[in-house]
Every structure is written in C-alpha cells, then in structure tokens.
Chains A and B, each alone.
Chain A
C-alpha cells in the first residue's frame, strides 16, 4: 500500500525527538550517504587530470559581534559558474526568534538545510515541551552538514554556513559559530566570514579589530553597518561571485542583527543612508 506523507504513523514511539530522522522515516528527506558507499566515486579523475574547479561557495557572508549584538550581512548575488542568475538572493535566513543561519554554498541544499533546521527547533519545542539549548541548536546544524557530506564529496551540495544566536542561559550573550563543509563547528570570539569573498573580508575585520579606531565589539550600530558594507564592497571588488552593493540598481546587502530582543532586519533606507555617507563618499581625511 502506498503511504501518503500524512498517514497516521501508528508505530510512532513518541520519542522521535529528531525531526530529520522523522523526515527520513517518511521518505521526505534524502538519506544519509556515506562517501564510501557512493555509486560515483568522488571526483573521478583521469591520471594527470587536474581537479576541476567548482564554483561552490561563490558568495560573501560575514558576521561579527558589536555593542548591540551580532551583525550578520550577506551580498545578494546568486551565480551558476560565470553567470549571475539572481541578484536578490536572501542568504541570511531567520531560523527562529533568536537564531540566524547565513549560507554560502549551493542554494538548493542550503535552503533545504535552513528549512529542516527551522522545523527541527520548533518540532523539538512542541514535542519535548522545552526550548532546545543553544548548544543543541549548534550541534543540530553540524549534524545536517555531516549527513550531507556524501553529496559534498560527489561535488554537489556543499554548504558552509555561519550560525548566530542569542543565548539567554546561563550567561546572556550573543554567540557566533562558523562551520566547515564536514560539519565541524567553531565558536568565533569576534567575527566570522564564509564564501569566496571571505579572505578579503577576514583581512578587513582582523585589521579593524586589532588596529582600527575601536575593537569590533565596541562599535555602535551605524559604525558596524559601515564596516560591514565596506567589507562587502571590498570583497566584491575582486570576487565576481559577490554582488557587493549594486549602486545603480539600488540593491543593498541584507543585514540582520541578533540581540536579546530578537532579530531585526535593517531597512534598506537605513543601509542606503550609511552607505552614502561612509562608503560611497571618497575617503575624507581622518
């Protein structure tokens, strides 16, 4: 008998607290593929052939802590090889009231991952009658990345995210994590960046944090937005896959701020004002 996705599962034990497992049981999420069991061996190369270049993380995402929480910014360009397919992509995604996942990588996999994650947190709260801890949330994303690693080895579906959240227990503070494609998680003390444009961004943030007029954590909101826009503009200068700021089309990067009060998306008008004043204007004597 064919099972519809909304059939009542009488074998439900009542302990399936893991949403991805539930989805896999119902055949709604691709199964975990171990690299060793893949039908296609990873990167089948002829002897002497170079590993093909794959534009898999073509974007720039950055996040850093400032006085008002964590700022997460991402450009809006989506590319396929050398082609720009979309210039209003949303790569900074709200997962719940206090968590943001920002993505670099293959959009199909990344958005699916964000969707699974969002539903996982809610599913946990509803079934277990308590909020998932921040460590649990960070680990859940790590597990999704690990489960996806088979596809990464096949050369499809690599995702390298940043996760920013506000932890109210035990010590209220903003927390920032970055990952590698295998699912290793690293907690960032000050800043994190991912995507092809990230080396340039990392350079800027390191410089600002160490020798700038103020450490990143002491910046006001306007100053933080200004640094974020400058960093993205710099990344776009040399990386074709990063959109930066499209001055003619008035497309600005997406900037969200996570704080104790929740997530706030900065309005375009505000970003435009900061951009006009501190980024587009030629450098004035300091």
Chain B
C-alpha cells in the first residue's frame, strides 16, 4: 500500500466515511462560558459523557466508549503526572491537546493497518477571567478547533460538539447570536438546553440549513426533557478552591428550566 499512494488515500477516505457514520448519532454537548465559570451540558439516558480531567480542565466526548476511555485515561495520566512533577498551574490544556493528544490521534487515524480512535472530544479550561477560558475540540483525525480569535472571526465564549458537521454549525450559529459571556448561570443553562435541542433535532434531518423556529425548539426540548436526563458539570471560576470541577444533578437543574 506504501507503493500505491492512491490506495492509501482511498483507504483514508473510506475510514473517514466509516468513522463519520459511527459518530453521526452522537448526542450533542454544549460548553458555555458564563460569569462564574464554564457549564457543560448534554441530555442522555445511558453513559456518562462529561468528565473531570484536572483541577481546571473538563472533557465531553462522543464515540466508542472504549476509545473515549483510553483517551480520557491518557489525558488524566498526562495532566496528573505534570501536576505532580511541576505544579497544578503548569498543567495546560493547550499543551495537553496540541502536543500529546492530537499527534497520537492523527497517527492512529492514518496508520491504516491499525485501529483509529473512534471519538470526538470537547475540552475546556477555565481561566481567571472569561476572556481566558479556552475551548478545544479534537476530532478522530487529530484535527483541532479552538475558540480563539482568528482573522476571520471573533473569539467565542462557547464551544459545541455534535455528531454531524451541520448540527455543529447550527448550534454554533444559535449560540453566536444568543449567548453572552456575562450571562448568569440560569440564563446560560437555558441557552445550553436550547443549543442542545437544536443540535439534536438537526442530527437526523440532513437538509436543515436554517435554524429551526423557536416554537419548534421549545416543543422538542420539552419532549426530550421528559424522556432523557440532564447531565451537566461546572468548572467554577472561583479561585478559592483548587479543584474547580463539580457535577450537577438532574434534580437540582430541573427547577431552573424556563419554558
């Protein structure tokens, strides 16, 4: 296959198509930076999808549970050994993702005789101020998307993860107009619920180019809330404690839902 570059490209394309197909039904995850921290939110029924990685870092993932587990464990091991040998402030999400996770995922993806990582992950690191929050999305091929400002667009105070590109884009389009970084927890929470609903309802419909009507979103959200549980976690900005991660229970969140 080495001597035949065309077949390698073809193999990669097949592999990409296969993985995209596997990831497509994944329930979206929204991460929103707000005044007091970062909120991770998804709705689901079965597996836990939001995890603590280190003092200021959390992760949400979709994909094969086995692969998510290997990557999660690797991320925790890397962060923990770095935090132990140097200090907790030296643990950086940027380094973790750019220097360790991304290269490994890329080579696993491109070595066509070995198995790729069937996972897509969303990481966030809470900063002292909202402008310092970092969001990174890492794909199965090692591709990284950040919230950082580029010449083409402004810096975003949120990030999303979804099964399809189109669902991801619609969620981002919604949050771009609706989410403000100085939002209160309650506002951010309801905004994240709406974003999730939009992401989830556009997973199946392949031709949705426009955002759904607010009434349709509200109806869909209500339906889903009655059959699925809310999974959410916070990275708190409050610097008085070293460990910022806190998971939130479904019951404590239900009362905050606005209709």
Chain A residues packing against B (C-beta within 8 Å): 5-10, 12, 14, 16, 19, 22-23, 26, 28, 115-116, 119, 122-123, 125-127, 129
B211 within 8 A of A: no
A28 vs B53: C-alpha distance in the bound complex, in angstroms? 20
Q: How far is the CB of B250 from chain A (nearest CB, A)?
A: 17
The distance in angstroms between the C-alpha atoms of A9 and B82, with both chains bound, is: 13
Instruction: Say yes or no: A9 contacts B80, CB within 8 Å.
Output: no
Which stretch of B20-28, B66-74, B126-134, B187-195 is in the interface?
A: B66-74
- A12 touching B84 by the CB < 8 A rule? no
Check B14 for interface membership: any CB of A closer than 8 A.
Answer: no
Q: B101: CB under 8 A from chain A? A: yes
Interface residues on B, range: 20 to 34
Contacting residues, chain A, for B83 (C-beta < 8 A): 119
- Interface check B85, CB cutoff 8 A: yes
Separation in Å of the A102 CB from the closest CB of chain B? 20
Of the listed residues B70, B81, B99, the one surrounded by the most CB atoms of chain A closer than 10 A to its CB is B81
B80 in contact with A10 (CB, 8 Å): no
Contacting residues, chain B, for A28 (C-beta < 8 A) = 81, 84-85
Q: Report the bound CA distance from A23 to B54 in whole Å.
A: 16
Contact surface of B with A, Cβ cutoff 8 Å: 48, 51-54, 69-70, 73-74, 76-78, 80-85, 95, 99-101, 103-104, 243
| Closest Cβ–Cβ distance, residue A119 to chain B (whole Å) | 5
Q: With both chains docked as a complex, state the minimum distance between the C-beta of A18 and any C-beta of chain B, in angstroms.
A: 12
B99 to A6, Cβ gap below 8 A?
yes
Say yes or no: A8-B100 contact (C-beta < 8 A), given A14-B70, A126-B76: yes
Question: CB distance A119 to B77 under 8 Å?
Answer: no
Q: B51: which A residues are within 8 A, CB to CB?
A: 126, 129
B80/A19 in contact, CB under 8 A: yes
19 CB contacts below 8 A, A to B, read A6-B78, A6-B81, A6-B99, A6-B100, A8-B74, A8-B100, A9-B77, A10-B104, A12-B70, A14-B73, A16-B73, A16-B77, A23-B84, A26-B81, A28-B84, A119-B83, A126-B52, A126-B54, A127-B73
Q: Name the CB-closest residue of A to B66.
A: A14
